[in-house]
Chain A
Amino acid sequence: MSKVKTGKYTNFWERNRKSGGYLLRKTVMGYGVSICRFILLFGLCFLILQPLLNKISVSFMTEADLYDPVVVSIPMHFTTENYQMAAGFMSYTKSLINSLVIALTISVLQVAMSTLAGYGFARFKFPLKNFWFACVMMTILIPPQVISTSLHLHFRYFDVFGLFKLITGSTLNLRGSVIPYYLMSAGCMGLKNGLYIYMIRQFFRNIPKELEEAAYVDGCGTLMTFIRIMLPDAKPILTSCFLFAFVWQWTDGFYSSMFLGDISLLSIKLRQLPDSLGGYIGNLLGSTTAAIVSVPYNNCILATGTLMVIVPLIILYLFAQKGFVESLSSSGIKM
């Protein structure tokens, strides 16, 4: 044993004796706490990751492996056939591009409009301001299902103050087209838009007023101040809102199936996956009705499809993880 080490050890016991056993107790407690914490966190992390890992392992199995009781998580016959099947059913490339385009444009539009509104609420004094902000909070609270019936009819017989009826003689049928959803996003009424307004407002409120006042004194107009001074400062919250908007739009089923039903989007295709699988197998068997696919195989394909839908999101999360978490905590959400 080296001299330093023994010295350290005697030192520890000496120190322990001098402190009346306090040091030993404290060290043991410290280790005990870390071990408990490790077990707890490991369990919880596993709980969250397990379905994902399970999906990954199932997606590489052949059908025979699914029924094999020996195979639990590592496939015996490694295959990528499931991926080809799922991609075929979802028309993956087309849906991927569609989803990308829709999610990107919608989220940019939503964030742009929410930024305007959020800045207006944070920095200007105008009559009825509190009332309108209460309305923002209300839009967060109202489940979209409450108004969905009416929106259905609204866009089925769309009209602006009776103008279209006056000109063309009939109302516009916007069901099945993308225009209603873009209109709603432009009006800050898209998916969880109220939340973005709220987050952005909180962020702008925390930026010191002097910055703005200096710009005004130097002769910068309101809009210019907003674009030149405030927007560059708000980059973190804007990226975080954009990321949320993108992800939620990507996985959203409600608005997509309501307004974008005719466009093949990943989220909608994923929902239809079991049906198309049944139809495909039924076709193979020569019947016109959908065949009943065995539960394990159905779920295997579904798991593969789910993985294919969330892989882009996971990649995004890996690269932009800071954007998701950090700015949300820095926006200082308080009431």
Chain B
Amino acid sequence: MKKQKNKLAGLQKRKAISGYLFIAPFLIGFLAFMIKPLCQSLYMSFSDVQLSSGGFKFVWRGLFQYNYAFRVDPTYTRLLTEEITRMALYSVSIMVFSFFVALILNQKFKGRALVRSIFFLPVILASGVILNLDSENSLMAAVAQTVEVNASATSGITDALQTILRTSGVGVRAFEKLFEIIDNIYDVAISSGIQIIIFLSGLQTISASMYEAADIEGCTKWESLWKITFPMVSSLFLVNWIYTIVDFCMRSDNKVIEKITTYMNVNLNYGLASAMSWAYFILVIAIVGVSSLIISKGVYYYE
């Protein structure tokens, strides 16, 4: 104790105190509105919440709610696996797409500012309720259906390509996934605004002299992409990966989240809703943790 006091004497101690004062709002908010609800919801997930006029009380039920969510509820497990696979698929394609677009936008051409602002527009327009409305838009779905019906008669170039690739018989399932992404390229494009900006800022910090030197040594553009650009922005891959996954988990058109919200608001089954959200949350944290560990092995830090 005394040693601790000595260690933080004088100015250092004062700075430590003012540091705590600066982050005090965060600390208070964190303890009151994050830790307390978090613990409570964890407790709730192990119990039955009974609402009454005077308040609420918990009845300890052990693992009952989890058991119910995974083994009794007809759709939860299916939705969970669907969402997780969708997340993996989309996160990868968002990463590839945003890196590719950032590479293009980093080049010099006329109207670059305009294109950049268009690509960034979805960050503003496709957030919150509006994104939700777009995905629920039944007219779009109806139109897409009619287009599909009509298209089967007069198939376009993409359909022709798809049939050729399907009949080739090699890696059909992989192709199916690819087609799914291509069909939903709009979703990918509108959810990669922030990632593009982050990649762009990374690309701009790479000094041009590096490319020049490589060029003089006889390095082709393709080689310098893999030997210079890729390692230099590799730390941003980690940032973007985490951001993409988190963003995806919190999107309002997420089926699991929708289900949880229904259980909470309509059925008032707080215990089950908490159990479901905890299971989902832990799964997501595990995925973020494992994948970022793998990625961070490949990250190269220049310094």
Residues of A within 8 A of B (CB): 34, 37-38, 40-41, 44-45, 47-49, 51-52, 113, 116-117, 119-121, 123-127, 129, 132, 135-136, 139-154, 157, 171, 183-184, 186-189, 197, 222-223, 226, 247-248, 250-254, 267-268, 270-271, 295-296, 298-299, 302, 306, 309-310, 313-314, 317, 321, 324-325, 328-330, 332-335
Contact = CB atoms under 8 A, between A and B. Distances in A.
Given A187-B29, A334-B239, A329 B19 contact: no
Given A44-B101, A328-B201, A149 B273 contact: yes
Nearest to A246: B124
A149 B104 contact: no
Contact of A113 (B15, B25, B274): B25
A304 B186 CA distance: 21
Contacts of B29: 113, 184, 186-189
Interface string B217-252: 000000000000000000110110000001001101
Contact of A197 (B26, B56, B120, B125): B26
B77 interface: no
B139 A41 contact: no
A297 to B, nearest CB: 10
A139 B281 contact: no
A186 B264 CA distance: 26
B139 A296 contact: yes
Given A143-B280, A189-B33, 11 more contacts: A126-B16, A132-B23, A141-B288, A144-B250, A146-B41, A154-B40, A197-B26, A298-B139, A310-B130, A325-B197, A328-B194
Interface string B33-63: 1101110110010000100000110000000
B134 interface: yes
A135 B250 CA distance: 18
B109 A34 contact: yes
Contacts of B153: none
Which 3 pairs, one residue from A and one from B, show the smallest C-beta to C-beta distance?
A187-B29, A124-B19, A120-B22
B104 A267 contact: no
A33 B190 CA distance: 25
Nearest to A171: B55
B109 to A, nearest CB: 6
B214 interface: no
B22 A270 contact: no
Contact of B30 (A135, A145, A222): A135
A119 B270 contact: no
9 contacts: A34-B109, A47-B185, A48-B190, A113-B25, A121-B23, A154-B33, A226-B22, A270-B129, A299-B137
Contact of B28 (A40, A47, A187): A187
Interface in B76-121: 101, 104, 107, 109, 115-121
Given A126-B16, A325-B117, A335-B238, A330 B264 contact: no
Contacts of A121: 23
Nearest to A310: B125
Nearest to B116: A325
Contacts of A141: 246, 284-285, 288
B252 A254 contact: yes
B19 A150 contact: no
A332 B24 CA distance: 26
Contact of B261 (A52, A123, A136, A145): A145
Interface residues of B, number: 91
Contact of B41 (A132, A147, A251, A302): A147
Given A187-B29, A335-B235, A253 B132 contact: yes
Contacts of A148: 261, 264, 277
A211 B135 CA distance: 50
Nearest to A296: B139
A150 B274 contact: yes
A142 to B, nearest CB: 7
A137 B17 CA distance: 22
Contacts of B104: 37, 40-41
Contacts of B274: 146, 149-150
Contacts of B18: 124, 222-223
A150 B37 CA distance: 5
B206 interface: no
A68 to B, nearest CB: 15
Given A125-B12, A149-B270, A149-B277, A295 B142 contact: yes
A144 B260 CA distance: 12
